[in-house]
Amino acid sequence: MLKKIPFIRKFFLILLTVLFITSIAVSVKASESKNNYQFIKNTVEENFKANLEQRGMSNIELDAEILSEMETPKGFYFVKVNINDRDNNKQATDYIITNGEYLLPDVIDISQGESIKSSLAFRYDVYDINTEGLTLIYGKKSADNIIVDISDFQCPYCKRAYKYIKEKVKDMDNVAVYKVHLPLKIHNKAVIYAKIFEAGKMLGVNFADELYSGEYDKMDKNEILEKFAAKTDNPEKFKTLVNSDRVQKKLDRSKQLAESLGVNSTPVVFFNGRKVEGFNTELIDKGLELFN
């Protein structure tokens, strides 16, 4: 089953930025229990709510889950915050670094150039994704290790992530890579590429490498369709499939899945349920290490 907590990431980040930049002093008594998770949880929730109420946002539910105490900086915690804006019917979930009173956007390990927040989010942000109905890019459905690739064939960073991951897993036998389409509006060939991929797979042809190559990005859509149709044993059937309800339902299923996972940008790749946003080779490698 899917993790059914959708979130509007942009909404959450704007909210956090406002709270961070224009923070209001809130008096919360410290005590010997300051290092206690419950105390930090209460402090985070009270401070957030106080800030929100000052801005006339009183009908918002907040829940802070303290995941771990950080080694550096001392006294700070890695916290998952869920926000439910009932008035606007919006939900947001993200991770923050805080001591309850102050918010750090991130902590960077300068020597490694590593985002501590991203590394911790990778550890805790785990999803159970139902791959039923998704199309394999490569691998076998019986594989124990699952990669779910949410991407756009025309997205430059998606292309880089695809090539990087394919090279890394080429000698792994127990890995299945599934495709979730999220065509971005800024890419005018993304939808036709997604349809070509699905229609090709239905006819036993995998066009993923060519679609990610960028070779066809400057061509007219009709020309692209004819080019790929000619690569199949049944060009007319292929073109019919590209424009069929069957293929459209595949794309609709992908969009619904991406939305349910809170994904609105590409690429986002899940390694046995652990999320990596963007072309982040460090976290991709951590994801692949899970397969060993």
Adjacent-strand bridge partners of 93: 82
Q: Per-domain residue ranges for the chain? A: 9-124, 135-289
DSSP state of 286: H
What is the Cα–Cα distance from 87 to 79, expressed in whole angstroms? 25
pLDDT of residue 31: 41
Cα angle value 10/159/152 (rounded, 5°): 50
Domain 9-124: which topology? Nuclear Transport Factor 2; Chain: A, (3.10.450)
252: number of Cβ within 10 Å: 12
CATH of domain 135-289: 3.40.30.10
Say which amino acid occupies 83: I
pLDDT tens digits, one per residue of 211-227 = 999 999 999 999 999 99
Query: Residue 35 — pLDDT band, cuts 50, 70, 90?
Result: low
pLDDT tens digits, one per residue of 261-271 = 889 899 999 99
pLDDT of residue 12: 54
Helix axes 190-202, 221-229, angle to 10 degrees: 20
pLDDT of residue 255: 94
pTM of the model: 0.78
What is the Cα–Cα distance from 266 to 269, expressed in whole angstroms? 9
pLDDT tens digits, one per residue of 67-102 = 999 988 888 999 998 888 888 777 777 889 998 778
Contact 276, 266 (CB under 8 A): no
What percent of the chain has a predicted confidence (pLDDT) above 90? 58
pLDDT tens digits, one per residue of 41-76 = 888 888 888 888 888 887 888 899 999 999 888 889
